[in-house]
Structure 1
Amino acid sequence: MQSEWKSPANNPAQDIPDNSDSGHHSSATSGSNNPQDEKNLARQRGLGYPDSKAVDVSSVPVPSEFDVYGNEEHADVKYRTMVWWKAAALMLAETVSLGILSIPSVFASVGMVAGCFLVIGLGIIATASGYVIGSFKLRYPHVHNMADAGEVLGGRIGREVLGAAQVVFMVFLCGSHVLTGMIAFDTITNGASCSVVWAVVTAAICFIFTVPRTLNGISYLSVVSFISILAAVLITMIGVGIKGHQGTIAITTNLNFANGFLAVTDIIFAYSGHVAFFTFISEMQKPEDFPKALFFLQISDTILYVVVGVVVYAYAGPNTVSPALGNTGPTLSKIAYGIALPTIIIAGTINGHVCSKLVYIRIFRRNGKTSRHMTSNSFTGWGTWILISFVIWALAFIIAELIPFFNDLLSVISSLFASWFTYGISGIFWFHLTTRTDRRGRKLETLFWGFIVVMGAFIMVAGMYASIVGIINGYKSGGFPGPFSCSNRAN
């Protein structure tokens, strides 16, 4: 990779003078206003800028501050508190929670061999793309989200486009958690109440858990989330084993393009946690430790996806349903969903928190200066945070009711957003980080990342086509309930 992971020689929040009464710091150094001097000082301090031999330093924009949260020495609310394993727990909880529930149906669609190949292959690529996101963050320490990255790539237009896309993507992710929670409650209670009520309950619980303003506390809940989903899928695998083989399994299958690509988008969704990586790294004590969290995530989720996909499909056969917890008998299905409720809630909370944080930062950071409300317990700071979180979960509830079908909702999300945030955008980051001169000596890497950019564009177009066809066919067959319907969603 172009950017080398280096431990900062000093803490930028301490080294760079504080020139503001509002608690933020700027990149002004020793009274110098020369941008070149600032760049040289930043490189000397090891703040993620590339070596001058690899990159033309004059082309590297200097962020107006080295850290989005400013100097936290005297802050009431401290954000940069996570060690790497807490970041790994957050990433694992956010990524695995819903993604794993659609994997067995993917194997039922494409066959055992293609399922394993796609899960492992896309997992390896997701590892590489995640590493590039971390490298980009170290190069530009002020980047907190995709909007900031968009500004580095394309100025104000890039900031607005990627920022809006990230917010919409994460609201849709929250909507998928509300939908899954609704399915879980309907399954557990045998549809004892109107399903809309369960959607409201899920959204309300997620909103309450989103109220804390830092990720450090949520990281402990992430451990609970991972144990929850792991126990739920273990019960599912035991349940399908007890039921015995429900049909023959296919090594390969013959599918039309739309159905086959819908399965691919489900796998892409299972690796869609990259959209939150910038925010996670921003709240780490040592951002240079991010690769440890990344590799832990990618090794764990890839192994889990393969094992669960193979085992559940091997027993459930062509009748495999999604979410996967519905493949057991009625009693075990209720137990599995009950145990999975913590991960449905907590993982949804993580997505809601990251989305809220993006909007919150946008409001309280202007022209590189951080408002005191971001790091204080002021009424304005807390009131704004709570209002943003409430709006996001209200929108998530509406989305869950308007698009009440699990796999097709995941396909829409994957096609429009995960195709870029997990894959395509990392290729663009790589080309931005690597000079033309350096690329001449790295032809294979250049071809690989060029392919990743094209792959992101292809997935978006082909995935949307497949999703639209699938939704149309679902409504024609009467398989989907109407919006805001009280019908039982248990599977």
Structure 2
Amino acid sequence: MSKPAATYPDEKQEPIPGYADPLDSNGESSPSFTALIAEDHKHEIKLRTMSWQKAAWLLAGDQVCLAIMAQTWSLSVLGWVPGIITMVLAGAFFWITSITMHKYIMENPKIKDICDFGFYVFGKSRIAYEFSGFMLLANNILLIGFHVLTGAKVLNTLSDHSLCTVIFSVIATLMGIVMSIPRTLKNVSFMSIFSATCMGIAILLFLIFAGIEKAPLYGYNGDYPTDGLVRTYAFPLPGTTWVNCVNAVLNITFLWVPQILFPTFIAEMERPEDFPKSLAVLVAISVFLFIVPPAIGFRYLGQYSTAPAFGSLGVVAYKKASFAFVIVPTIVIGVIYANVSAKFIYFRIMGKSRHAHSNTFIGWGAWIAVMAVIWAIAFIFSEVVPSMGDFLSLLSAAFDSFFGFIYFAVAYWQLYKGKLFAGMGRSFMTVIHIIIMFSGLFLLGPGLYAAVEAIIADYSGATRPAFSCANLSI
């Protein structure tokens, strides 16, 4: 990665924001959002232009994703009681930590991404900034790689493996690069409308087909009825391992932890104070989609649930008809993560040069080059990592523990230190954030151990070779 155009000041100063803000370069008092937005609007390419409605669509486009269809499997591992409790708690923690994040950003307007957030909450530490930057790129590029692999699976399924899987992965990668060219999240939000709609259709079709077919086709313990008639249960079945249970929890947690993107979304809003409105829309959508469809899926698939649940459908036509719509959110969500990742790199390269915010050949050339490199690396990961599902559990434990829990517990302490127990309401929220901190530490400790154990177990058996043409149809 290229070095930033402007070097980091010492600990008494603050880093110059990557959006080329010249208002606070001498370490004086932080500018307001009004000043930052006014400065941004002087540029040819304006970033801080997104309304709360467009931000809501962007959030929905990111969250209404294929991972919803993996929650049925989580319920099949945990059972109704632990599964639903985990989903509800994950949703509550998501709302609380997101509001804490927003409050902290409103106190520190210069924050433009999760790396700046880490810089501020950990005492304006350059180490925290660089560590956050590494995690941002590692998390996002691996996620983009997962979406490249998913795109190849969709195309394999729809075409009955008419081409080598590597070719399908290349097609998904090229689609992603082309769709990632827009530089503002305001433009990307338009794609999110279609992404969320297509994923909603896919989920609806799955529920209809799961309800009308006589029995599922396949589960991880064998084809129906190898494992007996379809059944549901309140608690994990006998023989369920601790590792499987923790990985099911990680699978739920992964779905509920998108905050790594939120500071960038807020930084591109014209009225950042309106972010809670966008968040409220997302929570309303998420509470329904993250619990109801998986519960219905578990009711009809029971112990035969797979991840994604489309793979358990017994009629091939049903499987193709519902899974086909997944191609749109697969690429668009990859575009969202690529946009956030590219901005982190791009503004470190461009710094305060005129190319950063202007329609110049160099500016657009650098943007497209950065985007192409991100998608190319993601493509390589999609081909050389035998089990992307296991690595998503690893990501959830290693990164979501910070970006979904620990960072925001620390931010809460920074916001209210000295008055953490000032009144019953504040005391209650302090206790909640202590629980959030310990939840993050649990994911980072036992959760990470369970994820690694799952990877070791999978690698002990047959694994998919790198750059394989093998059929990946569900």
TM value normalised by structure 1: 0.84
- Distance in 2 (alpha carbons) for counterparts of 1:34 and 1:378: 30
1:473: which partner in 2? 457
Report whether the alignment pairs 1:77 with 2:63.
no
Instruction: Pick one of 255, 266, 269 that aligns with 2:254.
Output: 269
Instruction: Pick one of 253, 273, 278 that aligns with 2:236.
Output: 253
- Distance in 1 (alpha carbons) for counterparts of 2:420 and 2:469: 59
1:55: which partner in 2? none
Report whether the alignment pairs 1:397 with 2:383.
no
Instruction: Pick one of 288, 300, 304 that aligns with 1:303.
Output: 288
1:278: which partner in 2? 263
- Distance in 1 (alpha carbons) for counterparts of 2:395 and 2:35: 33
Check whether the contact 1:323–1:406 (CA below 8 A) recurs between aligned residues. no
Q: What displacement does 1:415 show?
A: 1.0
- Distance in 1 (alpha carbons) for counterparts of 2:97 and 2:380: 32
2:445: which partner in 1? 461
Instruction: Give the paired residue count.
Output: 436
Q: What displacement does 1:454 show?
A: 2.0
2:279: which partner in 1? 294
Q: Quick check: 441-450 or 160-169, which moved more?
A: 441-450
Q: Deviations over 1:240-273 (max 9, x none)?
A: 1122355111121143211100001111111121
2:332: which partner in 1? 346
Check whether the contact 1:244–1:315 (CA below 8 A) recurs between aligned residues. no
Q: What letter is aligned with 1:432?
A: Q
Instruction: Pick one of 421, 429, 432 that aligns with 1:448.
Output: 432
2:317: which partner in 1? 331
Check whether the contact 1:99–1:271 (CA below 8 A) recurs between aligned residues. no
The secondary structure found in structure 2 opposite 1:192 is coil
Q: Percent identity?
A: 29
- Distance in 2 (alpha carbons) for counterparts of 1:130 and 1:339: 30
Check whether the contact 1:210–1:349 (CA below 8 A) recurs between aligned residues. yes
- Rate the CA distance shift 1:406–1:244 in 2: closer, same or farther, 3 A: farther
The secondary structure found in structure 2 opposite 1:274 is coil
The secondary structure found in structure 1 opposite 2:112 is coil
Q: What displacement does 1:181 show?
A: 0.9
1:26: which partner in 2? 23
The secondary structure found in structure 1 opposite 2:259 is helix
Instruction: Pick one of 419, 430, 434 that aligns with 2:401.
Output: 419
Q: Deviations over 1:437-490 (max 9, x none)?
A: 454543332222122122112102222221222222223343x42222211111
Report whether the alignment pairs 1:94 with 2:62.
yes
Alignment of 1:3-402 (within 5 A): 24-27=21-24, 35=28, 38=29, 47=32, 67=36, 71-152=39-120, 153-154=122-123, 155-246=125-216, 247-254=230-237, 255-328=240-313, 329-365=315-351, 370-402=352-384
Gaps of 5+ in 2: 1-18, 217-229
- Rate the CA distance shift 1:412–1:34 in 2: closer, same or farther, 3 A: closer
Check whether the contact 1:24–1:371 (CA below 8 A) recurs between aligned residues. no
Check whether the contact 1:185–1:198 (CA below 8 A) recurs between aligned residues. yes
- Rate the CA distance shift 1:248–1:34 in 2: closer, same or farther, 3 A: closer
Q: What letter is aligned with 2:468?
A: S
- Distance in 2 (alpha carbons) for counterparts of 1:251 and 1:488: 36
- Rate the CA distance shift 1:334–1:23 in 2: closer, same or farther, 3 A: closer
2:9: which partner in 1? none
Check whether the contact 1:322–1:407 (CA below 8 A) recurs between aligned residues. no
Q: What displacement does 1:27 show?
A: 4.1
Q: What letter is aligned with 1:122?
A: A
Q: Deviations over 1:338-365 (max 9, x none)?
A: 1111111111111111111111222233
Q: What letter is aligned with 2:443?
A: I
- Distance in 2 (alpha carbons) for counterparts of 1:250 and 1:406: 28
- Distance in 2 (alpha carbons) for counterparts of 1:146 and 1:70: 23
Q: What displacement does 1:385 show?
A: 0.9
Q: Deviations over 1:29-75 (max 9, x none)?
A: xxxx994xx46xx6xxxx47xxxxxxxxxxxxxxxx963x7723332
- Distance in 2 (alpha carbons) for counterparts of 1:27 and 1:196: 48
Check whether the contact 2:311–2:319 (CA below 8 A) recurs between aligned residues. yes
Q: What displacement does 1:278 show?
A: 0.6
- Rate the CA distance shift 1:473–1:34 in 2: closer, same or farther, 3 A: closer
Q: Deviations over 1:117-149 (max 9, x none)?
A: 111110111111111111121111111112112
Q: Deviations over 1:151-190 (max 9, x none)?
A: 2124211111111111111111111111111111111111
- Distance in 1 (alpha carbons) for counterparts of 2:203 and 2:386: 23
- Rate the CA distance shift 1:467–1:483 in 2: closer, same or farther, 3 A: farther
- Distance in 1 (alpha carbons) for counterparts of 2:184 and 2:90: 31
Q: What letter is aligned with 1:230?
A: G
- Distance in 1 (alpha carbons) for counterparts of 2:420 and 2:77: 43
Q: What displacement does 1:97 show?
A: 1.1
- Rate the CA distance shift 1:404–1:89 in 2: closer, same or farther, 3 A: farther
Q: What displacement does 1:378 show?
A: 1.4
- Distance in 2 (alpha carbons) for counterparts of 1:330 and 1:406: 24
- Rate the CA distance shift 1:164–1:23 in 2: closer, same or farther, 3 A: closer
Q: Output the aligned Cα RMSD.
A: 2.1
The secondary structure found in structure 1 opposite 2:349 is helix
Q: What letter is aligned with 2:275?
A: F
Check whether the contact 1:23–1:70 (CA below 8 A) recurs between aligned residues. no
Q: What letter is aligned with 1:298?
A: V
Check whether the contact 2:66–2:326 (CA below 8 A) recurs between aligned residues. no
- Distance in 1 (alpha carbons) for counterparts of 2:20 and 2:133: 25
- Rate the CA distance shift 1:433–1:364 in 2: closer, same or farther, 3 A: farther
Q: What letter is aligned with 2:414?
A: H
- Rate the CA distance shift 1:194–1:142 in 2: closer, same or farther, 3 A: same
Check whether the contact 1:66–1:142 (CA below 8 A) recurs between aligned residues. no
